[in-house]
Amino acid sequence: MNKESIYGLTLDQLIAWLNEHGHKKFRATQVWDWLYRKRVTDFSDMTDVRPECIQLLKDHFVISTLNEHLRQESADGTIKFLFKLQDGNLIETVLMRHKFGLSVCVTTQVGCNIGCSFCASGLLAKSRDLSGGEIVEQIMKVQLHLDQAQNNEKVSHIVVMGIGEPFDNFTNLSNFINVVKDHKGLAIGARHITVSTSGLANKIIEFTDSDLQVNLAISLHAPNDELRTRIMKINRAIPINKLMEAIDYYLDKTKRRITLEYILLKDVNDGKEHALELAELVGHRRQLANVNLIPYNPVDEHSQYQRSEQESITAFYDTLKKQGISCSVRLEHGTDIDAACGQLRSKQIKQSIG
């Protein structure tokens, strides 16, 4: 039976666990410092921790549960890691270089059941949730890669936008956020962490009430129910009006900005009429909303969708701006590798069974 990842424990949980096993609080803070500041990969390297505590940790936990299976590096500095889990499953993690820092996109599930018709992540159905430790370790693996390069670089931002629906794995997601933003560890600021959801309305409310204080992004991708249901089957269960009610709850309670993600699909949702309808949908929320327009990365299995022409992207952007909507076009990363989320994993699994 596989042991639990030590990365799955928040500092408070580690303190409580060691206390139950006869060790005082300072011992937990020592271990925490070795994990996240010194970033050791073996309990035996924690040289100032008592041997009996080291053995206790070895008996119950592991530090490493992910092995690098494949790595793709883009000319723009983007690195896509394909990690193999202890059970043999594969997940993707992506390091992106921005002017503002180094951002890592993490995965929260093995596969995805949301079923967006344009997305490579959903080509393979969800088989399980990732543990909190498996999510945290994605950040640690990337940080260790940066440490080895000895350029004094540090992961500064996190986007939870990889394979899976984060809010469908809410408890482990929450633990992950509390671990990575802890000021005694990685100390990644809450304002530098963004969670993206396909629109689980009840979980948006739970997220709001949890006061995690990280940023929220909504995968909207269509301005009306008919179109959104066609490309995102989740809209059948949670139509736009119900989603917008949850968004209003978030905006009213937190007074924080929200990002509405909108993938532009050629001749599907990229017309001027769609932009005008989207502006109307944003409506009174425009003071706290930003629309992030995303050029589509084509996926072989979804050949019915193509990237919008640059002229259409510009026209859509201009239409929103003229309607007073804050918007941006996402800067692309890794276009010379398997750019679409889930694409590398899908290809590798096909090769292994083909």
Q: Report the amino acid identity of residue 235.
A: N
Structure tokens of 228?
A: 């959104």
Instruction: Assess whether 112 carries a catalytic annotation.
Output: no
Give the active site residue among 105, 119, 327, 341: 341
Nearest to 272 by CA among 322, 324, 225: 322
Residue pair 220/259 in contact by the 8 Å Cβ criterion: no
Give the active site residue among 92, 134, 165, 261: 92
* Three-state SS sequence of the chain: CCCEEHHHCCHHHHHHHHHHCCCCHHHHHHHHHHHHCCCCCCHHHCCCCCHHHHHHHHHHEECCCCEEEEEEECCCCCEEEEEECCCCCEEEEEEEEECCEEEEECCCEECCCCCECCCCHHHCCCCEECCHHHHHHHHHHHHHHHHHHCCCCCEEEEEECCCCCHHHHHHHHHHHHHHHCCCCCCCCCHHHEEEEECCCHHHHHHHHHHCCCCEEEEECCCCCHHHHHHHECHHHHCCHHHHHHHHHHHHHHHCCCEEEEEEEECCCCCCHHHHHHHHHHHHHHHHHEEEEEEECCCCHHHCCCCECCHHHHHHHHHHHHHCCCCEEECCCCCCCCCCCCCHHHHHHHHHHHC
263, β-bridge pairs: 294
Nearest to 214 by CA among 172, 182, 181: 181
Nearest to 159 by CA among 98, 217, 106, 80: 106
Query: Do the strands 258-264 and 289-295 form a parallel or antiparallel pair, or are they unpaired?
Result: parallel
Instruction: Assess whether 341 carries a catalytic annotation.
Output: yes
- Residues known to be catalytic: 92, 341
